[in-house]
């Protein structure tokens, strides 16, 4: 009787020690996220374990591994490490159906468990752009749709023109038939213009399963548009006698055909001096007859466009240096130098400085020459009248002096009067004798 009582006491003491030791034992696990098709590692650790068994089971409560013994026939599940402190297994080629809550059990009294949730990411398929056509006419409305399926969670779609993101788009998310993944689509509407020609339209899919390497789909726009035309002169101030080159810059798609040059609505009047070379019009030795409106016309399969340039040929500054010698009744000679220019501020001056802008050997227009000649004639006439007046005044003074010679020698006034009268009588006598 005493023996039985001691045996019972010993049994309870052993059980108490076991319970007291098991209170410090607890399995530790972590949630795992893996991309579909990848490999998941499930690890269960126990810091204090007195040789107690560990077990992994799947969401369906099927035992996968009990210590180092495989319990479920699934070639994708392998043992990574088994000890009294750790039980790790791997699940390869993970599918969406593998997602769920896995349980690690520590067989103490009572059994202790820890949960680890396995999240499987659905990788989005490569996006596809629909609604694209090429070429597109300028001004047309283009609607592009980018679509991707199989993402979990739903992927994000963004649009770009080259490197510039477009924000104003439509977004649609739909659940797939498996009720696990999503199909996402985004629609971009815009009206094209010539600046869109050659631009890359990019649909980019971002998703956490892509490891910061997004999937993209791209289409390059080809826009057809009518030509744009611009005329560029070789000089902003064309002058008479100088050459002039008019360049017709035309841009369009398809490329414009060779340009057509006209003047005042008709053909070029002087083909020998007005030579068309490609997109350039070369005018040799400008003159006043070249004044007018020049038109450059460019055409492609989409349409036609033109530009106009009004040509005004300016006079070339010119200097005339005539020298005139005027004969007179005396030995006096007058030499006059007159400078006449055809500029708006024409003036006459006694200077021999030539205009540096004048062309060597270039004669001015007829009206300039006539004006110069008239000015010289007027000036010479005035000089001649002045010299003739001086000559007449000089001879008149000599005559009056001879008449007064008798009065100068008289001793008094009476004698001077008599002498003067005598001189007049003698003069009349001489005059009568002369006759």
Structural domain includes residue 141? yes
Q: Which domain holds residue 162?
A: 128-221
Structural domain includes residue 61? yes
CA distance 355 to 340: 10
- In 311-365, alpha helices (H): none
Structural domain includes residue 390? no
pLDDT at position 366 is: 67
Question: Domain boundary at 311, 344, 371, which?
Answer: 311
pLDDT at position 426 is: 46
Same domain for 240 and 182: no
pLDDT at position 10 is: 43
CA distance 409 to 415: 9
pLDDT at position 372 is: 84
CA distance 148 to 182: 9
Structural domain includes residue 201? yes
CATH of the domain at 215: 2.60.40.10
pLDDT at position 396 is: 58
pLDDT digits (tens, 9 = 90+) for 134-167: 999 999 999 999 999 999 999 999 999 999 999 9
> Average pLDDT of each block of 10 consecutive residues along the chain (435 residues)?
39 39 76 96 91 94 95 94 94 96 94 96 96 94 96 96 93 93 96 95 95 92 95 94 94 91 94 92 94 95 94 81 44 33 34 38 61 88 87 63 51 55 46 41
Q: What is the number of structural domains in the chain? A: 3
Same domain for 163 and 108: no
Structural domain includes residue 357? no
CA distance 176 to 430: 151
Which token pair is 223?
Answer: 């826009």
Same domain for 195 and 133: yes
Structural domain includes residue 179? yes
Which residues, at least 6 apart from 296, have a Cβ–Cβ distance to it below 8 Å? 229, 231, 246, 248, 250, 259, 260, 261, 279, 281, 306, 307, 308, 309
Same domain for 176 and 149: yes
Question: Domain boundary at 283, 311, 339, which?
Answer: 311
| Placement of tokens 């788009």 in the chain | 169
pLDDT at position 58 is: 96
Q: Do residues 254 and 194 touch, judged by C-beta distance below 8 A?
A: no
pLDDT at position 411 is: 61
Q: Do residues 40 and 90 touch, judged by C-beta distance below 8 A?
A: yes
* Global model pTM greater than 0.85: no
């Amino acid at each position: 009787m005493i023996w039985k009582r001691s045996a019972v006491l010993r049994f309870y003491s052993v059980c108490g020690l076991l319970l007291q030791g098991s209170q410090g034992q607890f399995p530790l696990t972590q949630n795992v996220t893996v991309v579909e098709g990848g490999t998941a590692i499930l690890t269960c650790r126990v810091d204090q374990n007195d040789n107690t068994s560990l077990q992994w089971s799947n969401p369906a409560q099927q035992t996968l591994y009990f210590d180092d013994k495989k319990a479920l026939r699934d070639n994708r599940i392998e043992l990574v490490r088994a000890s009294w402190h750790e039980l790790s297994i791997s699940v390869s080629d993970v599918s969406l159906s593998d997602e769920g809550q896995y349980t690690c059990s520590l067989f103490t009294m009572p059994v202790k468990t820890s949960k680890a949730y396995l999240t499987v990411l659905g990788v989005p398929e490569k996006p596809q752009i629909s609604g694209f056509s090429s070429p597109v006419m300028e001004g047309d409305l283009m609607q592009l749709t980018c679509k991707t399926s199989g993402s979990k969670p739903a992927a994000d779609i963004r649009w770009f023109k080259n490197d510039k993101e477009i924000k104003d788009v439509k977004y649609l998310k739909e659940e797939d038939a498996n009720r696990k993944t999503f199909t996402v689509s985004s629609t971009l509407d815009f009206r094209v213009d010539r600046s869109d020609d050659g631009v890359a339209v990019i649909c980019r899919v971002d998703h956490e399963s892509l490891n910061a390497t997004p999937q993209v789909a791209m289409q390059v726009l080809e826009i057809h548009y009518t030509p744009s035309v611009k005329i560029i002169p070789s000089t902003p101030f064309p002058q008479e006698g100088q050459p002039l080159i008019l360049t017709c810059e035309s841009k369009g798609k398809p490329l414009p055909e060779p340009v057509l040059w006209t003047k005042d609505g008709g053909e070029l009047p002087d083909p020998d001096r007005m030579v068309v070379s490609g997109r350039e019009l070369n005018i040799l030795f400008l003159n006043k007859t070249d004044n007018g409106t020049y038109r450059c016309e460019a055409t492609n399969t989409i349409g036609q466009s033109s530009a106009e340039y009004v040509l005004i040929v300016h006079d070339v500054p010119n200097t005339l240096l005539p020298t005139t010698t005027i004969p007179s009744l005396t030995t006096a000679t007058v030499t006059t130098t007159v400078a006449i220019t055809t500029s708006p501020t024409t003036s006459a001056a006694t200077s021999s400085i030539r205009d540096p802008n004048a062309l060597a050997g270039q004669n001015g227009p007829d009206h300039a020459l006539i004006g110069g000649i008239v000015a010289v004639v007027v000036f010479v006439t005035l000089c001649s009248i002045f010299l003739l007046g001086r000559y007449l005044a000089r001879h008149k003074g000599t005559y009056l002096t001879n008449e007064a010679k008798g009065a100068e020698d008289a001793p008094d006034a009476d004698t001077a009067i008599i002498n003067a009268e005598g001189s007049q009588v003698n003069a009349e006598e001489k005059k009568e004798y002369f006759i």
